[in-house]
Chain A
Amino acid sequence: MTKSSKGQNIELDLDRVAANGLLSRRHLLSAALGGAGLAMARPVIGQEPGINLEIPAWSKTPGPGTSPYGNRSAHAQLERQSGFGNPLYPGGGASRSPLQHLQGTITPNSLHFERHHAGIPAIDPAGHKLVIHGLVHQPLVFDYEDLLKYQMVSKIYFLECSGNSGALLYGGNPDGTAQSLHGLVSCAEWTGIPLSALLEEAGLLPEARWIAAVGADAASMGRSIPLDKAMDDSLLALFQNGEPVRPEQGYPMRLFNPGWEGNTSVKWLTQIKVTRNPLQFRDETSKYTDTLPDRTSLQFTFPMDVKSLITSPSGQMRVTQGDIYRVTGIAWSGAGSIRRVEVSADGGQTWGDALIESQQLDKALVRFSIPWKWNGAPAVLQSRATDSAGNVQPTRDAVIAAKGTINRYHNPCIQSWGVNTAGEVTNVYV
Chain B
Amino acid sequence: MYTFRRMLKASTLAAFSAAVLVSTAQEQVKLGQAITEVSLAKFDLIAEPSGTGFPAGSGTAQQGRTIFENRCAACHGSKGEGNSDATVLVGGNMQSAATPLRTVGSYWPYASTVFDFIRRAMPANAPKSLTDEETYQVAAYVLYLNGLVAEDEIMNAQTLPQVRMPNAEGFIDQSHIQ
Q: Chain A: residues with CB nearer than 8 A to chain B?
A: 86, 88-89, 92, 117-118, 131-133, 138-143, 145-153, 194, 196-198, 201-202, 212, 214, 218-222, 226, 228-229, 231-233, 271, 273, 275, 277-282, 285-286, 289, 291, 295-303, 405-406
Contacts and interface: CB of A to CB of B under 8 A. Distances in A.
A150 to B, nearest CB: 5
B71 interface: no
B29 A151 contact: yes
A309 to B, nearest CB: 23
B19 A149 contact: yes
Given A131-B43, A148-B15, A153 B35 contact: no
A421 B94 CA distance: 45
B170 A297 contact: yes
Contact of B94 (A117, A202, A295, A303): A295
Given A286-B113, A303-B177, A219 B32 contact: no
Given A133-B35, A142-B31, A220-B121, 10 more contacts: A88-B74, A89-B86, A140-B32, A148-B16, A194-B4, A197-B28, A198-B32, A220-B127, A295-B100, A302-B175
26 contacts: A86-B84, A86-B86, A117-B121, A131-B40, A131-B44, A138-B34, A140-B32, A140-B33, A142-B32, A145-B16, A148-B16, A150-B28, A196-B1, A196-B2, A198-B32, A202-B32, A222-B120, A226-B175, A271-B43, A280-B112, A282-B121, A286-B102, A286-B113, A295-B94, A295-B95, A298-B174
Contact of A149 (B13, B45, B99): B13
Contact of B29 (A149, A194, A202): A149
Contact of B107 (A202, A277, A286): A286
Nearest to A299: B171
B159 interface: no
Contacts of A196: 1-2
Nearest to B30: A201
Contacts of A92: 86, 124
A297 B171 contact: yes
- The majority secondary structure among interface residues of chain B is loop
B36 A406 contact: no
B125 A88 contact: yes
Given A295-B95, A300-B173, A280 B49 contact: yes
Contacts of B32: 132, 138, 140-142, 146, 198, 201-202
A140 B46 CA distance: 17
B50 interface: yes
Given A133-B44, A289-B171, A302-B175, A139 B34 contact: yes
Contacts of B163: none
Contacts of A275: 48
B116 interface: yes
A82 to B, nearest CB: 16
Among B43, B75, B110, B175, the one with the most A-chain Cβ atoms within 10 Å of its Cβ is B175
A132 B35 CA distance: 9
B8 interface: yes
Contacts of B46: 212, 214, 222, 271, 273, 279
A121 B155 CA distance: 32
Contacts, number: 191
B178 A301 contact: no
A139 B121 contact: no
Contacts of A89: 75, 86, 124-125
A153 B127 CA distance: 35
B23 interface: no
Contacts of A271: 43-44, 46
Contact of B99 (A140, A201, A279, A406): A406
A226 B31 contact: no
A131 B116 contact: no
A282 B107 CA distance: 11
A86 B75 CA distance: 10
B78 to A, nearest CB: 15
Contacts of B150: none
Interface string B118-158: 00110011011000000000000000000000000000000
Among B48, B120, B170, the one with the most A-chain Cβ atoms within 10 Å of its Cβ is B120
A197 B43 CA distance: 23
Contacts of A301: 174, 177
Given A196-B1, A280-B49, A285-B108, A299 B17 contact: no
A291 B110 contact: no
Nearest to B76: A88
B56 interface: no
Contacts of B83: 88
Nearest to A225: B175
A278 B175 contact: yes
B22 interface: yes
A301 B177 CA distance: 7
A147 B30 CA distance: 9
Contact of B75 (A88, A142, A214, A231): A88
A300 B44 CA distance: 23
Interface string B96-112: 00011010100111101
Contacts of B95: 295
Contacts of A198: 32
Contacts of B108: 285-286
